[in-house]
Each structure stands twice: as C-alpha cells, then as structure tokens.
Amino acid sequence: MSDKKIIYMDNNATTRIYEEVLEAMLPYFREQYFNPSSMYSPAGIIHKEMEKAREQIADFLGCEPIEVCFVSCGSEGDNMAIRGTIEAYPTKNHIITTKVEHPAVIETCRDLERHGYRVTYLSVDNDGNINIDELKNAVNENTAIVSIMYANNETGVIYPIKEIGQIVKNAGAVFHVDAVQAAGKLPLNMKDEPYIDMLTIAGHKIHAPKGIGALYIKNGTKLRSIQTGGHQERGRRAGTENVPYIIGLGKAVSMVKAELPKFIEHTSKLRDTLEAEILKRITDVKINGKNANRVSNTANISFKNIEGEAILLLLDGYGICTSSGSACSSGTLEPSPVLQAMGVPFEYAHSSTRFSLSLDNTMEEIMYTADAIEKIVSRLREISPYRN
C-alpha cells in the first residue's frame, strides 16, 4: 500500500462529497445564480428547483415538504429547535437532555442554565444506554423540551426514540431528536415516528457539502424564530437560501437512501472484522458500546494505559485518518465526556479511538489498519510508564 494513500475512517466527522452531488450543484453557482425570492421568471425557476430538493429531503425523512426547514448545519438546527421551543413556551423553564449529547446540544443547554433554565442531564449505563426510568421521573408539566440524539456520534449507540418519544408526549413536552449521526445509517420515517416534533440532519455527514442541513418541524409544532429578518422558510429562518447547497443536499439524500441496505451490510462487515482483529491481536482492549444496539459503521475502541493523541498521530503516519471522538470536541486533553458518562475507566477512556466507515472503505484497508494498530499499541506500551 502506497505511503501517499489516505485511508479515511472518520466519516462521523465529515464525508466525501459525492461527484454526482457536486455536478448537481455547479449550475447554481454559474448560470443559475438567481435569488429564489426575486419576482422575475428566472428566479421563479430557481425557486421551483429548490422546492424539488425540499421534496427529496421530505421523501428521505418520510414527511411533508412543508415540514422541512433548511438550516446551515446540525448545530444551527439543534439551537433552533431548543431555543425556539423555550421561547414559544415562556411559562416552562425545564429542559431534559442526556450527558452524552453532541456539544451543539450540551453547550446550548449549559448556556440556558446560565440564563435561569433548569436542565436535567440523563445518565447512561456502561454500554451507553439511556436510563429510561430517570426520564420518566424527570419529565413533568414544566418541561418545555426533551432533546435526545438518535445515535451517538462517538460510540454509535442507538437510542430507543419511539419509547422515549411516547414518554415525552404523554407529559406534554416537545420532543427534538438530533439525527445527524443516524441519517444515512438508519431508515428515517417521520410517519412512523409520531412522537417526534423536530429532527435535525446535517448534509456533510451524508456526502453533501458542509454548510447545509435541515430541521424537520412537524406540522402544528410551536416554534419561535431565533433569527430575524426576511420571510424565508415560511418565516422560520430568515436569510437568503443557499441554493447550490440545498440542491446538493437533495441529491445526496436521494443517493444515500437508495444505498442504505448496501451501506449497512458493507460497513457492518468491515467494522466487525476490525474489532475482531484488534481483540485477537491486542490485550487490554475495550470496545465501547459493544453490547448496545449500534449503527453499523462506528467502532469506538480503547487501549489500556495509552494516550489517544499518540495513537492518532502514529496512525496519521500510516496515512490513516481517525479521531478520538467528536470533531467539535477536539483540542482538549480530557477524556471524552461520553465515555466518562458511560463509566469507562480512566486508563481506558484516555485512549479511545473512533473508526467511522463508509462505502468507500475496503477490507484491504481494514486489515492494513489492524496491522498498524497492532504495531502502534505495541510500540506505545513499550515506552509507557504504566507498563508492567
């Protein structure tokens, strides 16, 4: 394998934009550049194309086109859902989320705490599963919104959204789901999810460009706009629509929906092989979330008494791109808050490495990566001050 070849195993951070997606976008940077809100006929044509993309996204989500609101990214969608809800229900000051959410939700909740809101952070067990009884005891008539992710970005653990949603709706609260890491990995159908009021997806996780996403807002859901200005998106989000990227997102979701069965089969085989090879070759290894229901492409692996940053740097030397968890949490030397919440021992949590796969990955790459990990761990344990 060439030293110059890049083996990309960080698809939960971002994905390669599909060539077909790029080709679909290009005309809207050049000859089809008109503002869709303008009154002249060329702009009207652009508006119709944008609405076709909305229909593609509605088909992907199993909802009505009118329920799709374009946003810039997952973080904006999460903020819009949470902040817009609490402004729509000014007499309620309680929010429920979990200790293992993406920073887009966690940091939003922490900010709201500083402004007088009360937030309950649900715990998880050692496999990363949410404590449902804790949710039942926490939700009440003062709860404005419950925001829980569909699948964890670090471990791939899938949460029981239908069960959670029923509990939330029985209490009269709004239910928001961050599905950024579920989109393209699990089937999403809002017609089968009657308890979900809002759901966020991000384009760059599903082979569309960075800078575009969507927030599903169920018809009848009360939501205040948190961005003032024009009338775009039915008054829910002011700002000229990012037409090329909306077209790209529409094309991407149609592709990943068609690929989903193949994606699940392919990435399951690769992930299971990688985990099995590492467990076979290396001692003192922990697969985080292994006993939970997980999305097929994600493996979060810890190696006892090794620094995760050293693993990532040495993997990079082999041309292998991975991460230690959420890209939005990089830059800190602290163990992952997700793994801490799961009770992963410190000597393991510090070395967590996330491998997130796509259809682009091959079995050859998996075996090459297993070889590299075996050599790296052996080398690091030889120089570790904690070695026996």
The pLDDT of residue 234: 80
The pLDDT of residue 219: 97
The answer to whether residue 113 is domain-embedded is: yes
The answer to whether residue 234 is domain-embedded is: yes
> 243, 279 in Cβ contact below 8 A?
no
The answer to whether residue 204 is domain-embedded is: yes
- The count of other CB atoms within 10 Å of the CB of residue 185 is 28
The answer to whether residue 388 is domain-embedded is: no
Question: Is the domain of 265 the same as that of 227?
Answer: no
The pLDDT of residue 327: 45
Percent helix, strand, coil in the chain, to 5, is 45, 15, 40
Catalytic residue set: 328
> 302, 155 in Cβ contact below 8 A?
no
Q: Give the CA-trace dihedral at 239, 243, 248, 251, to 10 degrees.
A: 110
How many domains does one find in the chain?
2
**Residue 29, SS3 per DSSP:** coil
The answer to whether residue 2 is domain-embedded is: no
Point out the residues of the chain with pLDDT beneath 70. Answer: 1-4, 238, 325-333, 384-388
Residue 303: both structure tokens together: 């190696």
The answer to whether residue 217 is domain-embedded is: yes
Residue 296 — φ and ψ, nearest 5°?
Answer: -75, -20
Q: Please name the residue ranges forming H helices in 62-102.
A: 74-88
Question: Is the domain of 165 the same as that of 293?
Answer: no
Given 229, 255, 281, the domain boundary residue is 255
Query: Rounded to whole angstroms, how far apart are CA atoms 297 and 97?
Result: 25
Question: Is the domain of 231 the same as that of 317?
Answer: no
**Whole-number CA gyration radius for the chain:** 22
The pLDDT of residue 328: 47
Q: Looking up tokens 């997806």, which residue turns up?
A: 201
Percent of the chain with pLDDT over 90: 86
Bridge partners, residue 216, by sequence: 68, 199
Query: Rounded to whole angstroms, how far apart are CA atoms 273 and 264?
Result: 14
The answer to whether residue 306 is domain-embedded is: yes
The pLDDT of residue 222: 96
Question: Is the domain of 278 the same as that of 232?
Answer: no
- Give the tens place of pLDDT for each residue, 92-123: 999 999 999 999 999 999 999 999 999 999 99
- Domain with residue 270: its CATH number is 3.90.1150.10
Question: Is the domain of 66 the same as that of 158?
Answer: yes
Q: Which domain holds residue 336?
A: 7-15+259-383
Given 216, 239, 255, the domain boundary residue is 255
Given 240, 255, 270, the domain boundary residue is 255
Q: Looking up tokens 């928001």, which residue turns up?
A: 176
